[in-house]
Amino acid sequence: MSFVIKYGIVSKNIDVTQIVFDKCMYNNSLLIIPKGDTIRDTLFTDPIEGIRKCIFVFQNGSVVQYNDDQEVFIQMSFNVYTNSIPTQIKQCYCSKEYTAIIIEPRCHSALFFVLHNFLENLPSNWSIILFHGNINTVFISDMIDSKLVQHKHRIRLINLNVDNLSGDEYSSILKTKDIYNYVETDHFLVFQTDTLILKENKHIIYDFLQYDYVGAPWKMDHNVGNGGLSLRRKSKMLEIIDENNKHPIFEIYGNKYHASEIHEDIFFSYCKTVHVYKPDFETAKTFSVETILDMKSFGIHKPWQYLSPDEWEQLKNAYPEIQELKDLQF
């Protein structure tokens, strides 16, 4: 079976755009879609409504420009089984609209499993920043070169120049501005080696882009929420950091704490002097499962530690990959 893809045309009601794009990226090749062409741009979108691919490409060593006033076609013969693509198409660069970051200085046994999950389930307009340490530099480089080479163009490595991090040190990194200098997009996802995206529900990530902060809600007061898997707006996080530096005393459940004493997700979730637009409890449940079960959530953060035995059994039976992740924990 083969498709002939014409620039700007989706034939036979098949979303060939996603198929061709994924194969081109896998082969380190290119597809040309001018960003300013609104008509064809509408046709060449992600299956998720309204998310433009924004692909910029280079052909034969130079950027190819197309006049929007002309009817220009790029014809590509594409065979689903042989993955064949034109030989003259050589290089691809895709602008990224969103970022996902993970801070992991250890040679963690779950790191590949989690990275692969996020790279496979986040659309191609998401990049990954992996903040690593001194000890796992070679471990990570070998992993990417041997197991994640098809996604290498989406991964950026930043050495934190540490051997390991305590929980407090991890929180401190996210509570200070330095790390955000590396995040080039306003929306970014934070994930850890005990998190996963549930592939059946991966599409709902875009339901949450309207918010400044979202994580799994907490049971005690239904606040939102946990930072282990969380979607955040960079500009709002920086505003909170500035404000909490001015007013570093937090009152939580009647007790007072200095900002330096609390976990980073509490630091951002309980700031009372900055308006943070967050989803309500019921909506946040559909983002991530941690302490509260939702069978249709976008992702999870170590639910095996918090759910009841019956809830855990129900969740892992529906999503066996969560048990795989649990088995990979130290």
Give the model's confidence band at 53: pLDDT under 50 very low, under 70 low, under 90 confident, else very high. Answer: very low
Enter the DSSP assignment of 218: P
pLDDT of residue 153: 87
In terms of C-beta density within 10 A (0-12 exposed, 13-18 middle, 19 or more buried), how is residue 249 classed? exposed
Name the strand (E) or helix (H) holding 114.
Answer: helix 111-121
- Does residue 264 contact residue 174 with C-beta atoms inside 8 Å? yes
Structural domain boundaries in the chain? 2-94, 98-327
- Does residue 304 contact residue 326 with C-beta atoms inside 8 Å? yes
| CATH number for region 98-327 | 3.90.550
What is the Cα–Cα distance from 71 to 56, expressed in whole angstroms? 19
What pairing do the DSSP bridges indicate for beta strands 288-289 and 62-63? unpaired
- Does residue 263 contact residue 226 with C-beta atoms inside 8 Å? no
pLDDT digits (tens, 9 = 90+) for 123-172: 988 999 999 999 999 999 999 999 999 998 899 999 999 999 999 999 99
Q: State the pTM of this model.
A: 0.72
Enter the DSSP assignment of 52: B
Q: Which residues pair with 213 in a beta bridge?
A: 232
What is the Cα–Cα distance from 271 to 253, expressed in whole angstroms? 14
- What is the separation of C-alpha 92 from the centre of its chain, rounded to a whole number of angstroms? 20
